[in-house]
Amino acid sequence: MKKFLFSLVLGLFTTIIFANNVQITNLTRSGNTISFDISWENSWYLDQTYHDAVWIFVKQAPNGGPAWQHVDLVPFAVGSGFQTLTPSDQKGIFLRRNTNGNGTSSTSLTLSCQGLIGAFQDLKVMAIEMVYIPEGDFYAGDGASSGRIAAGDDVSMPIEITSDGPLTCGTSATDIQYASGVCEDIPASFPVGYDAFYMMKYSITQQQYVDFLNCLSRDQQENRVLADITGSTVTNYYVMSDGTVPDKGNVIRCDVNVGTGPITFYCDRNNNGIANEADDGMNRACNYLSGADWVAYLDWSGLRPMSFLEAEKASRGPLLPVQNEFSWGSTLWNDNGTLENAGTDSEKWSNSYIDGGISTYDDDVIRVGANAPSSGASRELSNATFYGVIDLGNNPGDFYIHNAYVSTFSAEDGDGILTGNGAANVNSWPDYETINSTRIKIPVQTFGISTLSIALTGASNGGGGRGVRSNF
C-alpha cells in the first residue's frame, strides 16, 4: 500500500489509501465532489455472474480535527466499460466492469460526498478489492469434517441450500443436523449463503489495519492493539504481537515516544524506525487480530462478518463437496518453503505456485495473493475458491460467525461508526468484547472448510479475517 497527500484550496487535504493492487491517482476536489483515476490488477467480468469489484469508502476529519468520521457517498460519473452500485445506506460504492474481460481494470470516477461537517475537512479515500458471490443453490457440509453441518437423515451427507429460508433441525433429508450432535434451528434472518453477497478478495492486510488504527481516537486505538499504549511512551512498540521485534510476520508498530494524543502507526519489517519502506511488509495479511478487532474493522469499513455457511458457499460454489476439502477445492496442502523477497510487493515462498495450498499457520504470514501465479493459475495453484476469493481460511485463518449465533446474527452491514472504546456497534453482531472464545478457520488444524468448532481466545498469531457485504 502507498499513501499520497494532496494539498487543496483553503487548506483542505485529501489522502488516498491503497488496498492490495489498487491504485488511485490524479485526485481532485471541488466542493463536496471528488474525482480520481482508479486501477486494480487481476480483475475479471463474465456475464455478471462471475466478477470482482472494488469497495470504495471515504472518511472525513471535520476542520482537521483528530477524529475521523464516515462519509456517505453518491456516484456522479464513471468511465465507459464500468458501472457503480450504490447501497441504500450510501456507506460506500462498488465499482466493477460491466463488459466481459479480464486483466488490469482502469477507469475514472467522480463521487459526491454527503454530509460533510465543518468549513474544512481532511478526507481519506479507501478501496478494498471484493469478489461477487452470486445467488444460488449450494451444498454445505463435506460429510467428513468434524463438527460439520449435514442432512438430517444422514450425517455423512451434505445439506443442499436451495433458498434463503430457515433451516430446521430434524431427521428428514431437508432438515439439518451437526456431526457434533448439537443442533439449533437456523432462522430466516441468519445469512445462510443463498443470497448474493460480495466478499473481500484478500485478508485484511497490515497496511489496511494501520490505516484503520490511524483514523481512531486514542481511546479507541488502545482497545484495538494487544500492547499497552496507554502512556506517553510505549515499551512493546510492535503493538499487535506485544513485543519489540516483528513476530510471526506482523510488522505493525508505533514510535516509542507517542505523547498523549492519537498515535501514528506504520509498518516496519526491518525495525529501523523508518515507516513503510518498500520491504516493510505493508501487503502482508494481518494476523494477531482478536474477534473484537475483526468486527471493529469491518464495522468501520461498512462491511460485515461472514457466516459459516457463506464461507462454504464462497469456497465451494455449486459443486458437490469433496471430503475434507480446503477452500481451493482439494485436500492438498504443503508446508511453506523459505521466504523470498521478504516484505516486498513480490514476496513469496520458495515453493509458491505448486499444486495444493501452502499453509502459513504457526509460521510467518505472507503477502496476500503471494501464492497466485500471474498466468496459468488453477484454483489449487492460486489458493482460490470457486469464485476467486484468495486464501480463504489460510494466511492466516479467517474468522466467521459460528452456528452458535444463528439465533441472534443477521446480515446487517456496518455503518462506519464505532463506539467510544473502538468496538463495533451493530446490535445483531456477537459482542466480541465480552465473548473471549471466538470461531476461526485454520485449514491445517481443522482439515476442511466445513469444520465449525475451532476456538480462538483473544488475539493470536493465527487470527485474521475479511468481510462481506450483502447490501449493494
DSSP string, 288-311: S--HHHHHHHHHHHT-BPPBHHHH
For the purposes of burial, counting CB atoms within 10 Å of the CB of 217, is it exposed (0-12), middle (13-18) or buried (19 or more)? middle
pLDDT at 450: 78
* For range 47-55, the mean pLDDT: 95
Coil vs helix vs strand at 460: coil
* For range 350-354, the mean pLDDT: 80
More confident residue, 335 or 374: 335
pLDDT by residue (tens digit) across 262-311?
999 999 999 999 999 999 999 999 999 988 999 999 999 999 999 999 99
Q: What is the mean pLDDT of the chain?
A: 88
For the entire predicted model, the pTM comes to 0.93
pLDDT at 209: 98
Q: What confidence tier does 434 reach under pLDDT thresholds 50, 70, 90? A: low
pLDDT at 456: 57
Q: Is 228 left (phi over 0), alpha (psi -120 to 50) or beta?
A: beta
Does residue 458 carry a pLDDT above 70? no
pLDDT at 21: 78
d(CA 157, CA 227): 45
Compute φ and ψ for 195, nearest 5 degrees: -70, 155
d(CA 204, CA 69): 20
Helices within 263-366 (DSSP H only): 291-301, 308-316
More confident residue, 14 or 217: 217
Q: What confidence tier does 8 reach under pLDDT thresholds 50, 70, 90? A: very low
Q: Which of 109-123, 127-141, 227-241, 370-384 shows the lowest per-residue confidence on average (mean pLDDT)?
A: 370-384
Does residue 5 carry a pLDDT above 60? no
* For range 15-31, the mean pLDDT: 76
pLDDT at 362: 56
d(CA 118, CA 457): 42
pLDDT at 352: 82
CA torsion sign, 86 to 87 to 90 to 94? negative
Does an H or E element contain 212, and which?
helix 206-213
Does residue 457 carry a pLDDT above 90? no
Q: What confidence tier does 403 reach under pLDDT thresholds 50, 70, 90? A: confident
CATH of domain 3-133: 2.60.40
- Contact between 291 and 111 under an 8 Å Cβ cutoff? The reply is no
pLDDT at 361: 54
Q: Give me the residue label for grid cell 456522479.
A: 76
Compute φ and ψ for 443, nearest 5 degrees: -55, -45
pLDDT at 376: 66
Compute φ and ψ for 316, nearest 5 degrees: -90, -25
- Contact between 424 and 298 under an 8 Å Cβ cutoff? The reply is yes
d(CA 453, CA 442): 11
Nearest to 295 by CA among 170, 204, 384, 177: 204
* Residue ranges of the chain that CATH labels 2.60.40: 3-133
* For range 413-439, the mean pLDDT: 82
pLDDT at 11: 29
pLDDT at 80: 96
* For range 228-235, the mean pLDDT: 97
pLDDT at 463: 82
* For range 190-203, the mean pLDDT: 97
pLDDT at 3: 34
d(CA 141, CA 143): 6
pLDDT by residue (tens digit) across 359-395?
665 568 999 998 887 666 788 888 899 999 999 988 8
Does residue 439 carry a pLDDT above 50? no
* Secondary structure percentages of the chain, helix, strand, coil, to 5: 10, 35, 55
